[in-house]
């Protein structure tokens, strides 16, 4: 059994881990030392690793032209007068726009020439000065101490389980008729890859006939009470990558691993397409390059010699507005599964949920501040460009006109002509 040791606590089975997961862990491991290995800039040897996902997410909110400028700012592509004076003996370290020494810190926080821009970002300036950070040297988001801990927890989350006595009873009943389930997944903060959390839920429908389901739907429309025939039998946080797709697929996988004769309702088109791909695959190995292949390779054997029926149901429809009672009942099943999945993602394991919430709140603040800092950089750049143009115009007006070779010849000819004329006048 070949495993990759990616952290002190996380090992990946090289054959049973999806390509996306291995790539994600490789990038995460690489970025732990990338600054130390590929940068000679002082002051960063012992700083936390760069959070590439969060920094890139902020960069992508700007136009491409602005992204190029900001990347040069991050990489230190702009030379300060202080840096120039270190190798050019004819240069001084004085800022071009004020009488103070030029440096990256000076440009961001102190240069009087850009005070007007800086005053519009007072909150950002005070935030970074209070942190005493090197944000002027490396304007990025750094990984927090919780990042590795949370990533490890996501990798080690236990999968959904079912009561053994209930499972034995369901297996007996499945020999007579298929067991009906509703599944759903939830991902909180989906746009924040480093702080999002996901979970899934599995709901058992204990109704036997469609007439019973219509009766339950009718009672719901009269009373507003969710039918007690829809039972949440298992919930779990998503193991591995935190995404809605993986969560939806996990819920389906667990049911298929528990029972052979099932009807499953899901609102995820992507998950149902993956299931269909499993049904059509000739062997599990043919799924190894698919997204979330670790789950698909587990799902494939459950599709052999079993009875599976899958139905797509529209998500987030209001069952109170549905006239068809059977459709109303199916929407209620999806609603119960959705509510359970959301609550699981938010509240399962309260201490962990609190840790995740605090981490996300802190990260959101850092992302907002970095976005404002980038905006300030862009406005300062425009301001310095305008000042430079004004100074160049002033220098042009004060500089004496230098005669070119062509003008010099013309002036000489004019001078000779004038001298000849004066001489002729005197002779007369």
Q: pLDDT exceeding 90 applies to what percent of the chain? A: 62
User: Distance (Å, rounded) from C-alpha 293 to C-alpha 259?
Assistant: 21
Model confidence pTM above 0.95:
no
User: Distance (Å, rounded) from C-alpha 357 to C-alpha 346?
Assistant: 9
Q: How would you label 42-76 residue by residue, b for 16+ Cβ within 10 Å and e otherwise?
A: eebeeeebbbbbbbebbbeebeeebeebbeebbee
Task: Convert the pLDDT of each residue in 153-204 to its tens digit.
Answer: 999 999 999 999 999 999 999 999 999 999 999 999 999 999 999 999 999 9
User: Domain coordinates of the chain in residue numbers?
Assistant: 146-348
Task: Convert the pLDDT of each residue in 59-109 to its tens digit.
Answer: 999 999 999 999 999 988 888 888 888 888 888 999 989 999 999 999 999
Nearest to 273 by CA among 298, 291, 288, 259: 291
Superfamily of domain 146-348: Ribonuclease H-like superfamily/Ribonuclease H (3.30.420.10)
User: Distance (Å, rounded) from C-alpha 137 to C-alpha 47?
Assistant: 12
Angle at which helix 350-398 crosses helix 52-59, to 10 degrees, equals 50
Query: What strands lie across the sheet with 197-205, from one edge to the other?
Result: 230-237, 197-205, 179-188, 261-266, 307-312
Task: Give mean pLDDT in consecutive 10-residue pieces for the chain, a chain of 428 residues.
Answer: 79 83 85 75 73 94 94 87 87 90 92 93 94 88 88 93 96 94 96 94 96 95 94 96 95 96 95 93 87 92 90 89 92 96 96 94 95 96 90 63 53 55 50
């Amino acid at each position: 059994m070949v495993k990759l040791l990616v952290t002190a606590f996380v090992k990946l089975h090289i054959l049973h881990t999806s390509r996306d997961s291995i790539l994600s862990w490789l990038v995460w491991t690489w970025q732990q030392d990338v600054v130390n290995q590929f940068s000679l800039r002082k002051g960063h040897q012992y700083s936390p690793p760069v959070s590439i996902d969060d920094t890139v997410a902020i960069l992508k909110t700007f136009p491409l032209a602005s992204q190029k400028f900001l990347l040069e700012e991050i990489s230190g592509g702009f030379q300060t007068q202080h840096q120039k004076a270190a190798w050019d003996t004819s240069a001084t370290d004085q800022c071009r726009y004020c009488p103070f020494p030029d440096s990256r810190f000076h440009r961001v926080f102190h240069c009087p020439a850009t005070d007007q821009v800086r005053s519009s970002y007072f909150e950002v300036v005070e935030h970074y000065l209070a942190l005493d950070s090197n944000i002027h040297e490396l304007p990025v988001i750094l990984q927090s101490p919780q990042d590795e801990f949370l990533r490890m927890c996501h990798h080690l989350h236990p999968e959904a389980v079912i009561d053994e006595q209930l499972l034995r009873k369901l297996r007996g009943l499945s020999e007579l008729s298929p067991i009906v389930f509703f599944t759903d997944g939830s991902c909180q903060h989906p746009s924040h890859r480093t702080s999002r959390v996901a979970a899934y839920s599995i709901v058992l429908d204990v109704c036997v006939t469609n007439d019973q389901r219509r009766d339950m739907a009718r009672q719901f429309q009269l009373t507003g009470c969710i039918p007690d025939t829809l039972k949440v039998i298992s919930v779990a946080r998503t193991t591995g990558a935190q995404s809605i797709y993986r969560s939806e697929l996990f819920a389906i996988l667990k049911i298929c691993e528990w029972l052979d004769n099932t009807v499953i309702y899901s609102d995820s088109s992507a998950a149902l397409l993956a299931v269909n791909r499993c049904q059509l695959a000739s062997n599990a190995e043919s799924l190894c390059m698919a997204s979330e292949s670790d789950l698909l390779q587990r799902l494939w054997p459950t599709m052999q010699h079993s009875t599976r029926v899958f139905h797509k149901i529209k998500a987030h429809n209001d069952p109170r507005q549905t006239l068809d009672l059977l459709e109303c009942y199916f929407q209620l099943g999806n609603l119960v599964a959705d509510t359970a999945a959301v609550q699981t993602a938010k509240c399962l394991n309260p201490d962990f949920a609190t840790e995740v919430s605090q981490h996300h709140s802190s990260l959101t603040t850092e992302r907002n501040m970095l976005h404002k800092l980038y905006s300030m950089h862009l406005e300062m750049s425009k301001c310095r460009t305008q000042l430079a143009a004004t100074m160049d115009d002033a220098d042009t007006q004060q500089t004496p006109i230098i005669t070119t070779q062509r003008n010099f010849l013309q002036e000489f000819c004019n001078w000779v002509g004038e001298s000849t004329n004066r001489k002729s006048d005197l002779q007369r």
